[in-house]
Amino acid sequence: MVPEANAKISVLDRGFLYGDGVYEAVRVYEGKIFRVEQHWKRLDHSLKGIGLRIPWSHQDLTRACVATLKANRLKEAMIRVTISRGAGELGYDPGTCRHPTFTVIALPIRTDLQERWRQGVKVSIVKIRRNSTRSLSPAIKHTNALNGILAKIESLKVRAFEGVFLNLDGYVAEGTISNIFIVKNGTVKTPALDCGILDGVTRHAVLEVARGSGRKILETYLKIQDVLKADEIFLTSTTMEVMPVVKVDRTVIGGGRPGPVTRSLHIAFRSLLFKELKLHG
């Protein structure tokens, strides 16, 4: 355990040189990690996707997270677990990497969430497309983030909170760090996994609570027009939970106010996590 200023990684680390690594971002509520096992399962999937084996068990990963939380005296936090292929000789051949690099960072939660949940945010549909599932699959949570960073830069130019990707076929895929949902005539719709998206832990939980409340749900193919004509739109992610969207580029959604279905799904998501983690609030 070292203070950030003393943390060192080799200049030959392939995470630094090539973005050759994977990561998870988990959310901690009252000192407990939400759906930790789902995050480690997705990490396993990502590791398999880049052909990297690690010597740490799920328990080791959780222990490292808890220790980092304690060292930072945090109870409400976001933890980022990053694993790179480690240091080796220059060049793409991973054969000379002996030890993966494993880092854990615990950070406080961003302070603007309450206000954004209340007011809703603007998103922008970016020109750059999501990587194809046949090149670098978006289902792998890897540290090779330029696709998302270029989209983020584009969306910041129009002062959007999040950029939304289309896939190469022109269907809506996901945000740069979030999944997207729309509500139309009471039905909750979200891009299917084969649109080339990350299988979000929050997406999963929201689909669960939506199903539980008897709503009609479709994991489907959405076009730009479906998004622009939606009654409600929201994003999901570990840090954002359920984030209402009230504007898509120049189009105002739902009169510019967060919608009732979005709100009720956020409330249901919160009660699910309070129940699962046995929180006191």
CB half-sphere exposure, 281, CA atoms < 13 A? 6
* One-letter amino acid of 272: L
Member of 224, 239, 263, 270 binding ligand PDD (CB under 6 A): 239
Per-residue contact string for residues 138-177; x = within reach of ligand PDD by CB under 6 A:
------------------------------------x--x
> Of the two residues 71 and 149, which places its CB atom closer to ligand PDD in the complex?
149
For position 61 contacting ligand PDD by CB under 6 A, the verdict is: no
Per-residue contact string for residues 12-31; x = within reach of ligand PDD by CB under 6 A:
-------------x------
Residue 199: is it exposed, middle or buried by C-beta count within 10 angstroms (0-12/13-18/19+)?
Answer: middle
Cβ neighbors of 74 (< 8 A, separation 6 or more) are 28, 106, 107, 108
Cβ neighbors of 269 (< 8 A, separation 6 or more) are 202, 205, 206, 209, 241, 242
CB 177 within 8 A of CB 148: yes
For position 201 contacting ligand PDD by CB under 6 A, the verdict is: yes
> Of the two residues 46 and 238, which places its CB atom closer to ligand PDD in the complex?
238
Beta bridge partners of 40: none
> Of the two residues 97 and 205, which places its CB atom closer to ligand PDD in the complex?
205
Q: What is the DSSP letter of 31?
A: T
Give the interface segment with ligand PDD, choosing from 59-67, 118-126, 199-207, 255-263 (CB under 6 A): 199-207
For position 62 contacting ligand PDD by CB under 6 A, the verdict is: no
Task: Compute the distance between CA of residue 191 and CA of residue 176 in angstroms, rounded to an integer.
Answer: 14
> Of the two residues 101 and 190, which places its CB atom closer to ligand PDD in the complex?
190
Helices marked H in 2-57 — which ranges?
A: 14-18, 36-49
> Of the two residues 45 and 257, which places its CB atom closer to ligand PDD in the complex?
45
Member of 227, 236, 245, 258 binding ligand PDD (CB under 6 A): 236
Q: What is the DSSP letter of 2?
A: -
Q: Which residues sit at the interface with ligand PDD, rule CB under 6 A?
A: 25, 174, 177-179, 198, 200-203, 236-239
